[in-house]
C-alpha cells in the first residue's frame, strides 16, 4: 500500500533522506524509529506531497505521489503530533468538515458513531474543540481516518505528550484499524509503544534506514539496545 | 466543498465575535460619515436657498420700483441706481448661478469644499475674476472630511486587511493547514472559497450599512446609488484579492500584515499623492494673482485709447449702433467701458486658455496614471457620482462663464441703444442652468480597471501556487 523507491530529499545540498526503500502492506503497522532529524517526518511529508522528492518515488496504492497528489490523498489519513482542529467548532463539526473536504458526507448520527468508535466520550461530541485535551483531539483524528475509510494512515509522533492511558487507547485504535486492513506508517520515539503496536520496525539515522525488522522478532529490551547501538 | 466551506466559515466567523465587532464598526462609521456628509450637503443647499430667496426678494422690490418708475412716480434711490437703467440692473440684480448638490452628494465632499456653491455674475464684472473658490479650513483640507468616501477609500481596505491578512497563515501557524492539505483538494481553491465567503459576508454587511445610511439621509435609491454600491464591491474585491495573493505566498501572519499595510500605504496614500504632485510639477497652473495683475495692466493700457477701441468695437458689432444715435449717446462712458472690456477679454483669452489647458493636462495625467492605484480609480468614481469631481466643478465654471456672456449680451443692446430696462423684461432675464452634456462618466472605465486588477491578482495567485503544489505553504 505504501512504498518508497530510493526516496531522497535534500535541503540546500544537505541530504535529509537518503535512498529510502520501504514497504507497508495492508494491515501492517510500520513504526519508524530514530532521533530528531533522522528523516522520519521527511518521509511522511513526502508521502503527503507536502515536499517534493529530490530523487526516487513515494507510492501510495500504486500511484506516484508526485504525479497524482490529489488522488493519493483520497486513500490516506494523516495525524500529526499536534492535531490542531478548529477550536470554535465542535468535535462533530470538525469531523464533518474534514471528512467533507475528502468528498464524503454522512448524517450527524453516523458521524457521532465514528467519534464513539474512535473512543471519544459522547458528551464531548457537541463541545467546542478548544476545550479538548490532546488525547481527545487525536481521537477525532482517528475518527476522521475511520470516516474517510482511509486505506493508509500516516502518523507523525501521534502519541507524543499523551498520558499512558490515552497512549494505550490510541494504540488499541491503531490495532483495530490494522485488523480492518489499514496500512499504517508511524514515526515515533516511543520504543515501548512501537514494539507493542507495530508489526514492523525501522530504525533511521541521518536520513538512512539502518535497520528493518519484524516486531515479533525482538523483545523490548533488545529493541532498546539495538536502537541505542545505532544512535551511539 | 463550497457549501461545506460556506457553512464552516460562517460558523467560525459567528462564533469568534468577529462578525459582531465588524457589524458595530461598520454601522458606526457609515452612519457617522453619512451624517457628516449630509451636514455638509445641508450647508451647501442652505447657502443656495438663502441666496435664491434673497434674489427673489430683490426681484420683487425691483418689480415694484420699475412699476413706480413706469407710472411716473419717484423712488427713493439716486437716479444711477434706478432699475430702469440697464447697467444698474445688470450689476445690482444678478442671477444666482448655483451648483446644487446632487442626489449622492453626501458620499463624497470632493471639490465641494474648495468652491463656492453659487456665484453672481454681473454686467460689468470680469468673467475670469469671478470668485469660484472659497476659503476652506486648512486642517480639513489636509486631513480630508470624514465622509463616506473617506470611510470607503481609506478605512475599508484596513478593515479587509484586518479580516484577511492571516486567513491562510493562521491555519499554518495554528497547525490546521496540514490537515486541510492532507485532504484531496487544491489548497488555492479551498482558500479562494474561504476568502469568497468572507467577501460576501463583508459586502452584505457593508451594503446594508450603506443603504441604511443613504435612506436615513433621504437619498433616493436610484440606478446611480446602486452603481455606487457596485463600485464599492469592486474596490473591496480588489483588497480581498490582494489578501488572497499575499496569503498564498506562504509567509507568516506578521509578514502578511506588514506587506498588506505597506501596500495600503503605497496604493492609498503614496501613489495618489505622487501622481498629484507630479501633475502640478509637469503641468503647472499659472497663478490666479498673476492673471488678475495682467488683466489690470491691460485694462489701464486700453483705458488710454478708448475712443479708437470703441470705433473698432462698433465696426465689429454694427447691431449695437443706434440708427438715430448722435455722438453723445454713441460715445457714452459705459459704451467705451464695454468696448474695452471685450478687448481685454480677447487679449486675455490665450492666458485663460493656457490656464484651462494646464488644468485639463493635469487631469489627463492623473487619468492616465490612475491604473497605478485602485484608490484613485475608486475615488474618482465616487466623486463623479457625488457630482463633486474636478470635472463637475470645471463644467460648472464653464457654464457660469457662458451665462455671464449671456447676461452681458442681454443688457448690452439696451446700453448701446440707450433703452430702459422695463418691468416686462424681468420675466425675460436669462436663467442659469448647468450644461452637463460635456461630462463623460469615468465609472465604466474605472469599473473595468478594477475588474482587471481583481482578475489579474487572482490569476497571479493561481500562477504562483499551481494545483496540488503546497511545498511553499508547508515550509517555515
Look at residue B230 and tell me whether its pLDDT is greater than 70.
yes
Look at residue B107 and tell me whether its pLDDT is greater than 60.
yes
Tell whether the torsion through CA atoms of B102, B108, B112 and B117 is positive or negative: positive
Smallest CA-to-CA distance from B178 within A87, A140, A84, A94 is with: A84
Tell whether the torsion through CA atoms of B282, B288, B294 and B295 is positive or negative: positive
Task: Tell me how many degrees the CA angle B135-B363-B40 measures, rounded to the nearest 5.
Answer: 35
Would you put residue B298 in left (φ > 0), alpha (ψ -120 to 50) or beta?
alpha
Contact B179 A78 (CB under 8 A): yes
A6-31 confidence digits (pLDDT tens): 999 998 888 999 999 999 999 999 99
Domain boundary among A122, A150, A178: A150
Q: Please name the member of B15, B190, B471 whose beta carbon is closest to the beta carbon of A51.
A: B471
Residue A159 in 3-state DSSP? coil
- Which residue of chain B is at minimal alpha-carbon distance from A71? B184
Considering the domain architecture, whether residues A71 and A171 belong to the same structural domain is answered as: yes
Smallest CA-to-CA distance from B159 within B99, B105, B236, B85 is with: B236
Sheet of A29-34: strand order equals A76-79, A152-156, A183-188, A29-34, A200-205, A208-214
Residue B174: its chain A contacts at CB < 8 A?
84
Q: How confident is the model at residue B105 (pLDDT cuts 50, 70, 90)?
A: very high
Considering the domain architecture, whether residues A18 and A105 belong to the same structural domain is answered as: no
Residues B85, B414 contacting (CB under 8 angstroms): no
Is B190 in the A-facing interface, judged by CB distances under 8 Å? yes
Is B475 in the A-facing interface, judged by CB distances under 8 Å? yes
Residue A126 in 3-state DSSP? coil
Considering the domain architecture, whether residues A63 and A172 belong to the same structural domain is answered as: yes
- Which residue of chain A is at minimal alpha-carbon distance from B17? A88
* CB-based burial, B277-298: b 16+ in 10 Å, e otherwise: eebeeebeeeeeeebeeebeeb
Query: CA dist B55 to B284, B409, B424, Å?
Result: 38, 20, 17
Whole-angstrom Cα distance, residue B253 to residue B260? 10
Which domain range does residue A54 map to? 1-75+153-232
Residue B283 DSSP symbol: S
Residues A129, A140 contacting (CB under 8 angstroms): yes
**For position B333, what pLDDT does the model report?**
66
Smallest CA-to-CA distance from B232 within B452, B41, B435, B382 is with: B382
Whole-angstrom Cα distance, residue A227 to residue A225? 5
- Which residue of chain B is at minimal alpha-carbon distance from A79? B179
Whole-angstrom Cα distance, residue B162 to residue B339? 66
Residues B148, B30 contacting (CB under 8 angstroms): yes
Contact B8 A93 (CB under 8 A): yes
Contact A93 B16 (CB under 8 A): no
**For position B386, what pLDDT does the model report?**
93
Lowest mean pLDDT among A158-162, B107-111, B387-391: A158-162
Tell whether the torsion through CA atoms of B260, B265, B269 and B272 is positive or negative: negative
Residue B1: its chain A contacts at CB < 8 A?
100-101, 103
Number of separate domains in chain B: 1
- Which residue of chain A is at minimal alpha-carbon distance from B474? A50
Contact B474 A74 (CB under 8 A): no
Whether B214 maps to a domain, the answer reads: yes
Look at residue B141 and tell me whether its pLDDT is greater than 50.
no
Domain boundary among A124, A150, A176: A150
**For position B468, what pLDDT does the model report?**
47
Contact B182 A48 (CB under 8 A): yes
Whole-angstrom Cα distance, residue B223 to residue B221? 7
Residue A52: its chain B contacts at CB < 8 A?
469, 471
How far does the CA of residue B469 sit from the closest CA of chain A (Å)?
8
Residue A189 DSSP symbol: S
pLDDT above 90: percentage of residues in chain A: 55
Comparison of pLDDT for B76 and B318, the residue scoring more = B76
Question: In the numeric block, which cell numbers belong to residue B154?
Answer: 481609506
By CB atoms closer than 10 A (0-12, 13-18, 19+), residue B315 is exposed
CA B420 to chain centre: 42
Contact B183 A88 (CB under 8 A): no
Question: In the numeric block, which cell numbers belong to residue B446?
Answer: 474605472
Considering the domain architecture, whether residues A132 and A219 belong to the same structural domain is answered as: no
- Which residue of chain B is at minimal alpha-carbon distance from A68? B468
Q: Kindly report each contact of residues B390-395 with a partner whose C-beta sits within 8 Å and lies 24 or more positions away, as own/partner.
A: B390/B110, B390/B111, B390/B359, B390/B363, B391/B363, B391/B439, B391/B440, B392/B99, B392/B110, B392/B111, B392/B439, B393/B99, B393/B111, B393/B112, B393/B114, B393/B115, B393/B132, B394/B359, B395/B434, B395/B435, B395/B436, B395/B438, B395/B439
Compute the average pLDDT of residues B202-210. 96
B1-17 confidence digits (pLDDT tens): 788 889 888 888 888 88
Whole-angstrom Cα distance, residue B92 to residue B274? 45
In chain A the first and final C-alpha atoms are separated, in Å, by 33
Among B17, B177, B184, B476, the residue to mutate for chain A (most A Cβ within 10 A): B184
CA torsion, points B16, B20, B23, B25, in degrees to nearest 10? -90
Contact B1 A101 (CB under 8 A): yes
Considering the domain architecture, whether residues A196 and A227 belong to the same structural domain is answered as: yes
Contact A101 B178 (CB under 8 A): no
Crossing angle between the packed helical segments A108-117 and A134-148, to the nearest 10 degrees: 120
Helices within A77-133 (DSSP H only): 91-101, 108-117
CB contacts < 8 A, A to B, total 81
Considering the domain architecture, whether residues A18 and A63 belong to the same structural domain is answered as: yes
- Which residue of chain A is at minimal alpha-carbon distance from B12? A88
Residues B339, B310 contacting (CB under 8 angstroms): yes
Q: Please name the member of B11, B176, B468 whose beta carbon is closest to the beta carbon of A85.
A: B176
Task: Name every residue whose Cβ is closer than 8 Å to that of residue B338 and which is 6 or more positions away in sequence.
Answer: B313, B408, B412, B415, B416
Among A101, A131, A132, A143, the residue to mutate for chain B (most B Cβ within 10 A): A101
A110-132 confidence digits (pLDDT tens): 999 999 988 899 999 999 999 99
Contact A100 B11 (CB under 8 A): no
Is B2 in the A-facing interface, judged by CB distances under 8 Å? no
By CB atoms closer than 10 A (0-12, 13-18, 19+), residue A122 is exposed
**For position B264, what pLDDT does the model report?**
97
Tell whether the torsion through CA atoms of A104, A109, A112 and A116 is positive or negative: negative
Lowest mean pLDDT among B53-57, B123-127, B161-165, B204-208: B123-127
Among A11, A84, A106, the residue to mutate for chain B (most B Cβ within 10 A): A84
Considering the domain architecture, whether residues A123 and A159 belong to the same structural domain is answered as: no
Instruction: Enumerate chain A positions whose Cβ falls within 8 A of a Cβ in B.
Output: 45, 48-52, 69-71, 73-74, 76-78, 80, 82-86, 88-89, 93, 96-98, 100-103, 128, 144, 154
**For position B440, what pLDDT does the model report?**
86
Question: In the numeric block, which cell numbers belong to residue A55?
Answer: 530523487
Residues B92, B61 contacting (CB under 8 angstroms): no
Phi and psi of B133, rounded to 5°?
A: -95, 150
Considering the domain architecture, whether residues A166 and A201 belong to the same structural domain is answered as: yes
Whole-angstrom Cα distance, residue A92 to residue A132? 12
Q: Kindly report each contact of residues B135-141 with a partner whose C-beta sits within 8 Å and lies 24 or more positions away, as own/partner.
A: B140/B113, B141/B113, B141/B114
Q: Please name the member of B16, B178, B184 whose beta carbon is closest to the beta carbon of A71.
A: B184
Contact A76 B182 (CB under 8 A): yes
Considering the domain architecture, whether residues A164 and A59 belong to the same structural domain is answered as: yes
Whole-angstrom Cα distance, residue B240 to residue B229? 16
Is B8 in the A-facing interface, judged by CB distances under 8 Å? yes
Q: Please name the member of A70, A86, A98 whose beta carbon is closest to the beta carbon of B468.
A: A70
How far does the CA of residue B464 sit from the closest CA of chain A (Å)?
16
Which domain range does residue B51 map to? 1-277+364-476
Whether B292 maps to a domain, the answer reads: no
- Which residue of chain A is at minimal alpha-carbon distance from B179? A78
Considering the domain architecture, whether residues A47 and A94 belong to the same structural domain is answered as: no
Q: What is this structure's pTM?
A: 0.86
* CB-based burial, B228-260: b 16+ in 10 Å, e otherwise: bbebbbbbbbbbbbbbbbbbbbbbebeebbebb
Task: Name every residue whose Cβ is closer than 8 Å to that of residue B307 and which is 6 or more positions away in sequence.
Answer: B331, B336
The kind and range of the H/E element at A209 are strand A208-214
Q: Please name the member of A82, A88, A154 whose beta carbon is closest to the beta carbon of B12.
A: A88
**For position B42, what pLDDT does the model report?**
93
Residue B180: its chain A contacts at CB < 8 A?
98, 101
Question: In the numeric block, which cell numbers belong to residue B56?
Answer: 427673489
Is B186 in the A-facing interface, judged by CB distances under 8 Å? yes
pLDDT above 90: percentage of residues in chain B: 43
Whole-angstrom Cα distance, residue B206 to residue B200? 10
Lowest mean pLDDT among A1-10, A84-93, B19-28, B429-438: B429-438
Lowest mean pLDDT among B157-161, B283-287, B325-329, B411-415: B325-329
Compute the average pLDDT of residues B241-268. 95
Whole-angstrom Cα distance, residue B341 to residue B280? 31
Q: Which of residues 409-468 of B touch A (CB under 8 A)?
A: 467-468
Residue A96: its chain B contacts at CB < 8 A?
4
Number of separate domains in chain A: 2
Residue A188 DSSP symbol: E
- Which residue of chain A is at minimal alpha-carbon distance from B172? A84
Smallest CA-to-CA distance from B459 within B248, B174, B273 is with: B248
Whether B407 maps to a domain, the answer reads: yes
Residue listed under C-alpha cell 471528512: A99
How far does the CA of residue A102 sit from the closest CA of chain B (Å)?
6
Return the CATH number at A18.
3.40.50.300
Compute the radius of gyration of chain A from its Cα atoms: 17
**For position A134, what pLDDT does the model report?**
87
Among B179, B191, B193, the residue to mutate for chain A (most A Cβ within 10 A): B179
How far does the CA of residue B27 sit from the closest CA of chain A (Å)?
26
Considering the domain architecture, whether residues A96 and A207 belong to the same structural domain is answered as: no
Considering the domain architecture, whether residues A177 and A145 belong to the same structural domain is answered as: no
Whole-angstrom Cα distance, residue B216 to residue B27? 12
Crossing angle between the packed helical segments B2-15 and A91-101, to the nearest 10 degrees: 150
Amino acid at each position: 500500500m505504501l512504498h518508497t523507491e530510493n526516496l531522497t530529499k535534500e535541503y540546500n545540498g544537505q541530504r535529509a533522506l537518503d535512498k529510502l526503500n520501504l514497504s507497508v502492506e495492508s494491515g501492517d503497522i510500520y513504526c519508524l524509529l530514530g532521533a530528531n532529524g533522522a528523516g522520519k517526518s521527511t518521509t511522511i511529508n513526502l508521502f503527503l506531497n507536502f515536499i517534493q522528492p529530490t530523487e526516487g518515488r513515494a507510492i501510495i496504492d500504486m500511484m506516484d505521489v508526485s504525479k497524482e497528489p490529489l488522488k493519493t490523498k483520497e486513500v490516506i489519513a494523516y495525524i500529526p503530533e499536534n492535531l490542531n482542529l478548529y477550536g470554535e467548532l465542535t468535535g462533530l463539526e470538525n469531523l464533518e468538515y474534514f471528512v467533507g473536504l475528502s468528498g464524503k458526507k454522512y448524517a450527524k448520527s453516523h458521524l457521532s458513531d465514528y467519534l464513539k468508535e474512535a473512543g471519544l466520550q459522547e458528551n464531548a461530541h457537541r463541545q467546542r474543540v478548544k476545550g479538548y485535551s490532546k488525547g481527545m483531539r487525536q481521537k477525532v483524528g482517528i475518527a476522521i481516518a475511520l470516516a474517510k475509510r482511509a486505506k493508509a494512515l500516516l502518523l507523525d509522533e501521534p502519541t507524543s505528550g499523551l498520558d499512558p492511558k490515552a497512549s494505550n487507547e490510541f494504540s488499541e485504535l491503531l490495532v483495530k484499524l490494522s485488523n480492518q486492513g489499514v496500512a499504517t506508517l508511524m514515526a515515533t520515539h516511543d520504543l515501548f509503544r512501537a514494539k507493542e503496536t507495530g508489526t514492523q520496525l525501522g530504525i533511521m539515522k541521518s536520513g538512512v534506514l539502518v535497520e528493518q525488522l519484524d516486531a515479533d522478532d525482538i523483545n523490548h529490551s533488545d529493541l532498546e539496545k539495538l536502537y541505542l547501538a545505532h544512535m551511539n | 466543498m463550497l457549501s461545506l466551506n460556506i457553512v464552516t466559515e460562517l460558523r467560525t466567523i459567528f462564533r469568534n465575535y468577529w462578525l459582531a465587532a465588524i457589524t458595530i464598526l461598520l454601522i458606526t462609521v457609515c452612519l457617522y460619515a453619512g451624517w457628516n456628509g449630509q451636514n455638509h450637503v445641508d450647508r451647501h443647499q442652505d447657502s443656495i436657498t438663502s441666496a435664491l430667496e434673497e434674489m427673489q426678494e430683490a426681484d420683487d422690490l425691483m418689480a415694484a420700483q420699475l412699476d413706480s418708475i413706469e407710472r411716473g412716480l419717484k423712488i427713493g434711490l439716486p437716479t444711477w441706481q434706478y432699475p430702469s437703467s440697464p447697467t444698474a440692473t445688470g450689476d445690482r440684480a444678478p442671477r444666482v448661478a448655483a451648483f446644487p448638490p446632487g442626489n449622492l452628494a453626501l458620499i463624497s465632499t470632493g471639490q465641494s469644499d474648495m468652491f463656492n456653491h453659487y456665484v453672481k455674475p454681473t454686467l460689468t464684472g470680469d468673467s475670469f475674476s469671478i470668485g469660484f473658490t472659497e476659503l476652506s479650513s486648512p486642517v480639513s483640507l489636509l486631513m480630508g472630511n470624514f465622509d463616506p468616501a473617506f470611510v470607503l477609500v481609506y478605512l475599508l481596505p484596513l478593515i479587509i486587511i484586518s479580516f484577511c491578512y492571516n486567513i491562510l497563515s493562521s491555519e499554518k501557524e495554528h497547525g490546521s493547514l496540514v490537515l486541510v492539505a492532507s485532504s484531496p483538494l487544491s489548497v488555492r481553491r479551498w482558500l479562494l472559497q474561504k476568502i469568497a465567503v468572507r467577501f460576501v459576508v463583508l459586502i452584505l454587511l457593508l451594503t446594508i450599512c450603506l443603504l441604511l445610511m443613504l435612506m436615513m439621509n433621504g437619498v433616493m435609491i436610484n440606478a446611480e446609488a446602486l452603481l455606487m454600491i457596485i463600485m464599492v464591491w469592486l474596490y473591496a474585491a480588489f483588497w480581498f484579492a490582494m489578501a488572497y495573493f499575499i496569503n498564498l505566498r506562504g509567509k507568516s501572519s506578521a509578514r502578511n500584515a506588514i506587506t498588506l499595510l505597506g501596500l495600503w500605504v503605497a496604493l492609498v496614500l503614496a501613489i495618489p499623492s505622487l501622481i498629484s504632485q507630479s501633475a502640478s510639477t509637469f503641468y503647472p497652473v499659472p497663478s490666479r494673482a498673476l492673471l488678475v495683475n495682467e488683466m489690470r495692466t491691460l485694462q489701464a493700457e486700453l483705458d488710454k485709447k478708448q475712443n479708437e477701441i470703441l470705433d473698432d468695437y462698433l465696426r465689429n458689432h454694427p447691431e449695437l449702433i443706434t440708427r438715430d444715435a448722435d455722438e453723445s449717446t454713441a460715445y457714452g462712458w459705459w459704451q467705451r467701458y464695454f468696448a474695452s472690456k471685450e478687448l481685454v477679454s480677447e487679449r486675455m483669452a490665450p492666458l485663460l486658455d493656457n490656464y484651462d489647458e494646464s488644468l485639463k493636462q493635469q487631469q489627463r495625467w492623473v487619468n492616465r496614471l490612475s491604473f497605478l492605484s485602485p484608490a484613485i480609480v475608486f475615488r474618482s468614481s465616487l466623486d463623479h457620482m457625488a457630482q463633486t469631481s474636478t470635472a463637475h466643478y470645471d463644467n460648472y465654471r464653464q457654464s457660469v462663464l457662458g451665462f455671464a456672456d449671456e447676461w452681458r449680451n442681454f443688457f448690452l443692446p439696451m446700453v448701446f441703444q440707450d433703452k430702459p430696462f422695463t418691468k416686462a423684461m424681468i420675466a425675460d432675464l436669462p436663467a442659469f442652468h448647468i450644461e452637463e452634456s460635456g461630462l463623460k462618466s469615468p465609472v465604466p472605465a474605472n469599473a473595468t480597471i478594477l475588474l482587471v486588477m481583481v482578475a489579474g491578482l487572482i490569476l497571479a495567485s493561481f500562477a504562483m501556487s499551481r494545483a496540488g503544489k503546497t511545498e511553499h505553504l508547508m515550509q517555515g
